[in-house]
Every structure is written in C-alpha cells, then in structure tokens.
Amino acid sequence: MKQPQPRPAFTKDEIALMVAVAELYHTHHKTQQEIARTLGTSRSKVSRLLSKAEKAGIVEVTVRNPYSKADSLSQDLARVFGLEKAVVVPMIADNQEVIAPVLGRAAAQYILSRMPRSTVVGVGRGRSVNATVEQLARNVQLSPVAVPLAGGMGAQDMAFPASENARRLAEYLGGLCTFIYAPALVRNKRIKESILSEDQSREAVQLWNKLDWVLTGIGTIPPSHGGPDKWFQKVLDNFVREMNEVPVADLCSWFILGDGRIPVTSRASCLIGATPEQIRRASVRLAVAGGLRKVEAILGALRTGLITVLVTDERTAEAVLSLNEKDHKRESTDKMSESAPGST
C-alpha cells in the first residue's frame, strides 16, 4: 500500500481569512474592491480567496429554479427503487461536458458530509467518478483507504481509469491507495490466479471483501464516449453469444441486462474485479450518472439493487421513471394477454 503525497491543508489563519472574506462578500454584500480596501490587500487576492473558500467547502453556492421538480423526483426515485438517497440536480442540459462537473459537485458534497473517517472505498472508472473526485475539498482529512474496483481496460478507460480515480481520491482526502497491476480481463483463470498471487494485487483483492463505500459510474452499451475499442467489443460479443441478449449497462465491469440481472458467464472466472456480492456488502454504494443517453443503463443498474445512492440530473431522473413505468405497463398488458381465454 503506497502513501500518496497529500496536498497541503489550509492553516487556521488561512481558513479564518477565507471565512472573513466570504462573509463580507456573501452576507454583507460588499464588493471585492471594498473588501480589498477593508483588509488592505488587492482585489485579485480577494477573488482568489473567494474561489478557495468555495473549493474548500466554506462557501456553497446554490442556484434554485422555482419551476424545478428535482425534490419530488428525488423522492420518487428513492421510493420506486428502494434507494437510501437520490440526489437530483436541477438542470436540463444534455451534454456530458456540462453535466459531469455538476453531478460531481453534488456527489462530492454527499461524500464530504456523510463519509466516516478511515473508510474503505472501492472506486470505479469513468468521467462522472473523475468529476466527483476532482470536486472533493482538499482540506478535509477523512483518511480513506481507496482501491480500484477492477483492473485496467486499456483504451476503453484511458482517460478516466479506476486506478487514477482511486489514487486522486486518496490523495485529496489524506488517505491511502492500493493498486491492481493487471487488466480487467485476462485470457484464462490460471493467468488471473498468477496475477492475484502477487503481494500488491492480493492486498487489493482482500480489500474488496472489506468495502464500506463504493463510488462508481454507470457505463452505457456501447460506451458514451470514444466508442468501443477492440478489447471491449470482443468481450461484449462473447457475452451476447453466450446469453443471446444484449446488455444495457456496464457497472463495475459487469454487464447488466434490462431487467437488472447480472449474468455470470463463462468469462467471469477471468475477470479481475470486485464481484457484485462484494460490492453489495458495502453499506453505501454511490452511483453518479446523468444524460439522456444513459437512461436505459441507469434503469438497468437501479434494478440490480446494487445502488443505494444515486446522483443524477433532473431530465434524466424524469426519463428513468417514465421508462420504468412504461415497462411495468407493458409487462402487465403481456400478462393479461397470456391469461385471456383463447390465448396460446
């Protein structure tokens, strides 16, 4: 287990100055120039202090849309899917470049307000997880133990690999990270056993049995960015041939069918990653995902029962609930047709 080099925390004097500037600006409505004159400093320094105060969690900026249905959608998602919590961000943009940082900020706030110290955290790959990690305050020493939820996936997760997301989370929150030096899928079970016999990889695998929290995204089929590479396409083709069904989502490197089933295929013994059973043992399983392209994937993931907390956007939440209702109506109609007199 490697000790990361944590970013320096703010001193008490620095925090006191940020609080003073923030109160003058947000509570007493002083301009930045007025604050600079009061404190005998420059306007640019005041601006930097305000920015630091927001990043450090001293100031939380909330924009409220009076026509937003975010609160009611949060309640509906939690009720329908048995979630501990649903955080719905009131925004209607459908662009991942816009959505991911906003969802990341909401997920980071949830983590900072709920995560106990010394938590064992399994961390997934992807843009939404990366955005969440990058929004974490740097002056909160939660001392987590972070571990990637799976091995690497080559070009498929080159931009936001689980290992890097886990490393940064540990670094930012003053914790430790352990790594898996292996691909997510190997050729056969013998290779997997050989890799996992190495000390560092064995240490990571042992942590999968001790997960307290899980932070993951929800992948679409095909992936929502970059398109599937040859490795991913081969894995997907093998799954479809064996199951005779196309998955709707990828959660922690496991394919999910539309009804929420996670089939264990012949390739499962070659997968280097936390199993659904290991993930389910974590008390908090936080998924961060949004955008209309992910509606079917999010619905499938919710139906697994693996997710306890979902962070998504308003438009996506509404679409997920609508699709779920349509599916239930169609199932009811099919059952009535099958039980009708004369049906075969």
| Residue 305, token pair as written in the block | 């029962």
| 30 and 108 assigned to the same domain | no
What is the domain-level CATH number for residue 49?
A: 1.10.10
Question: How many Å apart are CA 28 and CA 32, to the nearest integer?
Answer: 11
Q: Identify whether 341 is part of a domain.
A: no
Can you give the C-alpha Rg of the chain in angstroms?
22
| 142 and 94 assigned to the same domain | yes
| Residue 29, token pair as written in the block | 């409505």
Q: DSSP class of residue 154?
A: G
| Residue 105, token pair as written in the block | 């900020």
Q: Which of 152-156, 175-179, 332-336 has the lowest mean pLDDT?
A: 152-156
Sheet architecture: strand order including 254-256: 219-220, 249-251, 254-256
**Alpha carbon of residue 155 to chain centroid:** 20
Report the predicted TM-score, pTM, of the whole model to 2 decimal places.
Answer: 0.78
Residue range 38-65, pLDDT digits in tens? 889 999 999 999 988 887 878 876 666 6
Q: Tell me the pLDDT of the chain averaged across its residues.
A: 87
What is the domain-level CATH number for residue 194?
A: 3.40.50.1360
- Tell the residue number behind the tokens 């042992």, with chain if given: 206
Number of structural domains in the chain: 2
| DSSP bridge pairs for 215 | 123, 286
Return the number of other C-beta atoms located less than 10 Å from residue 102's C-beta: 18
DSSP 3-state of 288: strand
Q: How confident is the model at residue 301 (pLDDT cuts 50, 70, 90)?
A: very high
Q: Identify whether 61 is part of a domain.
A: no
| 34 and 80 assigned to the same domain | no
Residue range 188-240, pLDDT digits in tens? 888 888 888 888 788 888 999 999 999 999 999 876 555 556 767 778 888 99
Q: Identify whether 62 is part of a domain.
A: no
Q: Identify whether 1 is part of a domain.
A: no
Residues whose CB is less than 8 angstroms from the CB of residue 24 and which lie 6 or more positions away in sequence, other chains included = 30, 34, 35, 38
| 45 and 76 assigned to the same domain | no
The domain containing residue 162 runs over which residues? 70-332
| 35 and 158 assigned to the same domain | no
